[in-house]
Amino acid sequence: MEYQILNKISSPEDVKKLNIAELQTLCSEIRNCIIETVSKNGGHLASNLGSVELTVALHRTFNSPKDSIIFDVGHQCYTHKLLTGRFNEFSTLRTEGGISGFMKPSESEHDPFITGHSSNSISAAYGIYKAKKLSGDGGTAVAVIGDGAMTGGMAYEALNNASTAKTNFIVILNDNKMSISRNVGGLSRSLTKMRNKPKYHNFKFAINRFLLKIPFGKYLNSFIFGFKESLKRVVYKNNMFSSLGFNYLGPVDGHNIEELEALLNIAQSYNRPCLVHVVTTKGKGYPYAEHSPKIYHGVSPFEVDKGALKSKNTDFSTIAGKTLCELACKDPKICAVTAAMTSGTGLSDFAKNYKNRFFDVGIAEQHAVTFCAGLKKGGMKPFFAVYSSFLQRAYDQIIHDCAIENLGVTLLVDRAGIVGEDGETHQGLFDISFLTSIPNVQIYSPSSYNELSHYIKESANTKNVTAIRYPRGCEGKTTSEIDYTKEFSQVKGEGKKVIVTYGRLFSEALLAKEKDNSLDIIKLNKIYPFSDELINTIMGYSNIHFYEEGIKNGGIAEHLSSVLAQKGYGGKYTIHAIDNKFIPAASVCSSIKSRISNIYFSSSTNSRSFSF
């Protein structure tokens, strides 16, 4: 596709030189570029299409990189990348060796902070803002946060802290779904329009200065301010941002660049924290995404003209959701909880069929875990479906609110292991390391759909905190020799050496055994804690190779090696895991190959590759 303006943008300074007609053309070209790229590479579509004009206005108003602009989560940063010198690389979005789908400081000086998880932008921006003021380097920092991310408690912790600032700190609320403040009637609309004009604010400042210079002016000014605030409360109802100490500006049309620039300039004129409420349309400019923003939030490659997403095959997430529905049909105590990931964790049918027992708590993993603990204390049977990388945020709650009292809460840990194109911030590599450090937690890692369904059903009546972790995608090769009702299973060969593994990698172990029948395989079903039977069985081998799709430090392999050492094991024990590194974006297969493969099982006569 030919681009008349976008291909000439090498920095935000180029954007500032454009007139309004050229800006409109630029926005259209940006949308076409995003749609074209995401249709090939997959990625976050609807949220990025909705924030095009907002991002353009931000870069025309502020001076990146001197001014730091932080996009929460990063689901809104594609336009930012295109305006900051990455147009020529944009076709590599979310590919191995290409640019990230999120903000990444190592990629550009215009990305001041790495993003990928929600609700941290205000905290990070306020920290950067204060650092700039303390160091005297000049510049400012702006947080751009969506209404979805505002459901995360960390955002309010940051707002509460930032409200104490005596200087200008700006938060942009990109509201593309819900109304933050309910505006009522024509008077409300008129006042909003008036308050968003520079002349209104200039007049207000002039009156304040005048009153403070005359006798009794201080008291008169206080009376006028109190009257104005009372009127605003009547018209606008309660505005929590104003209550927190922020100067609230908006709402403003997030697709009108001129109005956006005017209001952003007004926000900069205040000597106090400001929140600018911007209303945008998710999926703007692409009818399919506008009509179904949830479906087009994060997408796989699709046909642009038809808007036809690839049909979703059965995967571990859908099996988890289906199994929970089966349980809920028979047991009225079954409850499902998610943190703003209903579709992603396979719970759409549960939400539809068991509305009173389904709870989407928003982007609030900490609350979700403690909420589940409360449900359990109240006699229910809660299941919390959550991505592995997001469960990290609830570590304290698992310890304090679940494990200490040994409450039977089940954690359905989706996207465990390598997830691929979303990169470092989303890889599910740490759940085992932190879960195994907590007493009263048992962990299962199925490699097939039948196993997953079995463990979910069994955990409904557990007395321990139970984590059932499973990968993104579909099941692989399996065998009838596996008895998943036991804590571990063996696949026998000649018994000269053994692969010990679990989860998705079991399928790859079977492929390796087809090439080398000297291998035995021990598949861990319940991967932690270990039973005496498992330890005794493994002790019978003199050559052990442990394969793990997770971080090596604190992983199952290291825990097992410690137990074997205590038992006096004298054979050869080799760990093949991810060597304490963050894994960048790539396809799942490519990531596994580059990080875990190139390992060989050696004997005196041959060498066999254990490939992924």
Bridge partner residues of 303 (DSSP): 308
CA distance 260 to 61: 9
Give the DSSP H or E segment for 209: helix 198-211
User: Strand, helix or coil at 521?
Assistant: strand
Residue 597: left (phi > 0), alpha (psi -120 to 50), or beta?
A: beta
Hunting for tokens 């007049």 — which residue is that? 203
- Hey, what are 471's tokens? 């990968």
Residue of 397, 405, 466 whose CA lies nearest to 153: 397
Is the Cβ–Cβ distance between 172 and 278 less than 8 Å? yes
Contact 23, 257 (CB under 8 A): yes
- The end-to-end CA distance of the chain, in Å, is 37
Tell me how far CA of residue 344 lies from CA of 118, 246, 298, 320, 515, in angstroms.
16, 35, 10, 11, 37
The type of residue at 194 is M
Say how many residues make up the chain.
Answer: 612
423 neighbors 101 (Cβ within 8 angstroms): yes
Q: Which DSSP helix (H) or strand (E) runs through 549?
A: strand 543-551
Count of Cβ atoms closer than 10 Å to residue 519 Cβ: 25
Euclidean distance between CA atoms 192 and 188, whole angstroms: 6
Q: How many CB atoms lie within 10 A of CB 111?
A: 27
Query: CA 345, CA 384: separation in Å to the nearest integer?
Result: 10
Q: Which residues are catalytic?
A: 282, 365, 393
Paired tokens of 342: 């209903």
- Spatial contact of 277 and 180, defined as CB atoms under 8 Å apart: yes
3-state secondary structure of 114: coil
Tokens encoding 612: 């992924």
Residue 235 has φ and ψ, to the nearest 5°, of: -80, -45
- 204 and 212 Cβ atoms separated by less than 8 Å: no
b/e sequence 311-335, b meaning 16+ C-beta within 10 Å: eeeebbbbbbbbbbbebbeeeeebb
Q: How far apart are CA 406 and CA 550, in angstroms?
A: 26
